[in-house]
Structure 1
Amino acid sequence: MVSRIGKEIEISPVELGSQIAKRVKINMASGTPDPRKMPIKEIKDAYSEVLNELGPKVLFYPGAGGQEELIREIEDKFLSVLNLTKRKDEKIVVTSGAQHAMELLGKYFLENDVIAVENPTFIETFNALKLRSSSVIPISLDPSGIDVNELETLLKVVKIRLLYVIPNCHNPAGVNMSECRRKRLIELAEKYDFYIIEDDPYRPIAGETPQPIKNYDNNGRVIYVSSFSKIIAPGLRVGFLIAKEDIAEKISLMEQLDFSTSTINQYVVARLLRKGVVTERSKELYEHYKSKMKILVDSLVDKGLDKFNEPKCGFFLLLDVGKDSWNVFHKAVEKGLSFVPAKPFFLRGGDTMARLSVSVATKEEIIEGVKILNEVIRNI
């Protein structure tokens, strides 16, 4: 007596790992940014300022598609941080984070259509698309990103509606897509008539990366999705997408159906952008997570756990533990360590893969976590 989505939806491994992480000493499961780096004072000041200056206005129902003040600040202050060019025939739609944007895009584009995704892919955003698709086809991922030759081989025989990719600081693989593959994706989208969802929440903390795929798009084939979760705080639930006007206008109307994007939080983020808080944090956060990732990489190599591609940026490292990762996970939890068994990120393979996060754990906890992980793997 329920829908197909109601039957098929289930807890994600990320949520499971995060729930368990609350009960253990070392959290290498969470994708939440480092709480020690969240700009608490600046956020508190921004709330006070917008309430004092604008009063009840910031507590009204949100307008469709986002507050004009925030959209203006994104255009003036944030697109340059993303190295992103918005065309005149495109619009910004504000959403409750990138996850909400993915949900709206799934509703807009898909009705039992075929889609393609990287293998592995980020399970939580991907689910919003999978649950509205008839078929999902995995395309291999390597250190340079999605395998575009494999993708074209597929496209010659199968018509897809959407391609979902994470080009920077890939979650869970940590890789960056090469510039030539970004350009090739645009060529393929034009030739085989499909849309690309470019999910890019890590670019503000990614350091030097190739241009967004969106910058090579001349005909509106790419819908760009971003978020303030990694550079400010995820609990504010403010993100946005950029798409052609006709698509953006429909998405705006769909966004208004749930009224979920907080009005006051939009004003707070706009204020933080105007004051330069967001842009000032970009380089600092890149260096912070880079240093933590180096500790993880060095600790793994020191223990002989070297079956991984070294991440280019972001929070995550995808490790082949050589054994069933769920078994390793349960044993690790007993010893005080939580991570994410990565099998659900894969549509093909992945039984021995584990996603390790450096975002929440301290440097000392990362070293201790690797020690626990190594002991568990050696004793199973």
Structure 2
Amino acid sequence: MVSRIGKEIEISPVELGSQIAKKVRINLASGTPDPKKMPIKEIKEAYGEVIDELGPKVLFYPGAGGQEELIKEIENKVIPLLGVNKRKSEKIVVTSGAQHAIELLGKYFLENDTIAVENPTFIETFNALKLRSSTTIPIPLESTGIKVEELENLLKIVKITLLYVIPNCHNPAGVNMSECKRKKLVELAEKYDFYIIEDDPYKPIAGEVPQPIKNFDENGRVIYVSSFSKILAPGLRLGFIIAREDIAEKISLMEQLDFSTSTINQYVVAKLIKKGIIHNRAEELYNYYRNKMKILIDSLNDKGLTSFNEPKCGFFLLLDLHKDSWEVFHKAVEKGLSFVPAKPFFLRGGETMARLSISVASEEEIIEGVRILHESMK
């Protein structure tokens, strides 16, 4: 006597890989930012400062849609960093991370509807949408992003409510969507009457990428989602959406239903933004992770493992092992390596794919991890 969601939900491969990673020497599974790069000192100071300045106010119940202080800082300082052209007819809603934002958007838009997603897609955010949909349609992904011509052919025969895309530093594929495709998606949304969720948590550490899909949106067809998890720390659980005012107001009311967005954390992040911590870290983190990704790419090439699209930014590389990835995974775990078998990221195919992450592994561990992976494939 449980709901359809209760019956269908199951552990994600990311969670499974991360659990196993705690028991092995080398972690190429986790998607958490590198703990060595989290601004612990600055976060600690910010907690003390907001308590000293505002007292019990920072421990009150959170207001619907986010604290005014944080929304102001996002509006004035974060949005320009992200390159988003926010219109006067749009509002910001603060959420408990990007995952929470997409869960709320699923509740708002979907009731046994049809949705389309990139194939592959990020399983954990996708599940929040899939579990509220009747039909999910995969659209192939290539080195320049979603195949828009296949999406357009689909739209001629099928009505969708939502399209979910990750345009920058794609998880798990690592690719960036081209600007011409971003513009085309908005044109299709207008023509075929659907909405786009633009999931963009990596932009603060992505370096130079095309402008957001949101910037081509004149009529509120695109809901932009971002997060402070990659630039600060995921445990703060803070993200936000930018959406047309009527959508944002409803999402604010739905966000208040669970009261999950921490009041004090909102004040802390507002303080960190005001101090310039986010702007100061953006270029440094891009270079840091890009260097680690280069080490992974070079190590794979040295072993003859070349079946991947070179990631432009972010944490992830999607590698074709040309054999069952779960079989290789179990052998690798025995030798001290964890990664994520990527089949669950695909609605179609993906049995031989592996997601490798450079986020928490050291340079030496990345090199050793590739050696173990290569050995496990023999």
- AA paired with 2:82? L
**SS of aligned partner of 1:298:** helix
Distance in 1 between residues matched to 2:181 and 2:373, nearest whole Å: 35
C-alpha RMSD of matched pairs (Å): 0.3
In the alignment, structure 1 residue 191 sits paired with structure 2 residue 191: yes
Partner of 2:26 in structure 1?
A: 26
**Runs of at least 5 residues in structure 1 that lack an aligned partner in the other structure:** none
Partner of 1:161 in structure 2?
A: 161
Q: CA deviation at 1:351?
A: 0.3
In the alignment, structure 1 residue 360 sits paired with structure 2 residue 354: no
- Deviations along 1:310-345, one digit per CA (max 9) or x if unpaired, are 001000000001110001111101110000000000
Q: How many pairs does the alignment contain?
A: 378
- AA paired with 2:278? V
- AA paired with 2:273? L
Partner of 1:341 in structure 2?
A: 341
Partner of 1:52 in structure 2?
A: 52
**SS of aligned partner of 1:226:** strand
Structure-1-length-normalised TM-score: 0.99
Partner of 2:203 in structure 1?
A: 203
Partner of 1:69 in structure 2?
A: 69
Distance in 1 between residues matched to 2:237 and 2:24, nearest whole Å: 26
Distance in 2 between residues matched to 1:258 and 1:25, nearest whole Å: 38
Partner of 1:281 in structure 2?
A: 281
In the alignment, structure 1 residue 251 sits paired with structure 2 residue 251: yes
Distance in 2 between residues matched to 1:374 and 1:175, nearest whole Å: 23
Q: CA deviation at 1:240?
A: 0.2
**SS of aligned partner of 1:62:** coil
Distance in 1 between residues matched to 2:355 and 2:219, nearest whole Å: 36
- AA paired with 2:259? F
Q: CA deviation at 1:85?
A: 1.1
Distance in 2 between residues matched to 1:264 and 1:330, nearest whole Å: 42
Partner of 2:226 in structure 1?
A: 226
- Deviations along 1:149-179, one digit per CA (max 9) or x if unpaired, are 0000000000000000000000000000000
Partner of 1:81 in structure 2?
A: 81
Distance in 1 between residues matched to 2:221 and 2:293, nearest whole Å: 34
Partner of 1:107 in structure 2?
A: 107
Distance in 2 between residues matched to 1:80 and 1:86, nearest whole Å: 9
- AA paired with 1:154? L
Partner of 1:42 in structure 2?
A: 42
- Deviations along 1:37-81, one digit per CA (max 9) or x if unpaired, are 000000000000000000000000000000000000001110111
**SS of aligned partner of 1:43:** helix
**SS of aligned partner of 2:80:** coil
Distance in 1 between residues matched to 2:110 and 2:56, nearest whole Å: 38
- AA paired with 1:67? Q
Q: CA deviation at 1:130?
A: 0.1
- AA paired with 2:58? V
Runs of 4+ aligned structure 1 residues displaced above 4 Å come to none
Distance in 1 between residues matched to 2:75 and 2:281, nearest whole Å: 18
Partner of 1:260 in structure 2?
A: 260
Partner of 2:331 in structure 1?
A: 331
**Runs of at least 5 residues in structure 2 that lack an aligned partner in the other structure:** none
Partner of 1:272 in structure 2?
A: 272
Partner of 1:152 in structure 2?
A: 152
Partner of 2:128 in structure 1?
A: 128
Distance in 2 between residues matched to 1:232 and 1:202, nearest whole Å: 12
Distance in 1 between residues matched to 2:99 and 2:134, nearest whole Å: 21
Distance in 1 between residues matched to 2:81 and 2:307, nearest whole Å: 33
- AA paired with 1:234? P
- Taking the TM superposition and a 5 Å limit, the aligned residue runs for 1:90-101 are 90-101=90-101
Q: CA deviation at 1:299?
A: 0.1
Identical amino acids, percent of aligned pairs:
81
Distance in 1 between residues matched to 2:168 and 2:78, nearest whole Å: 17
- AA paired with 2:24? V
Q: CA deviation at 1:211?
A: 0.2
Partner of 1:316 in structure 2?
A: 316
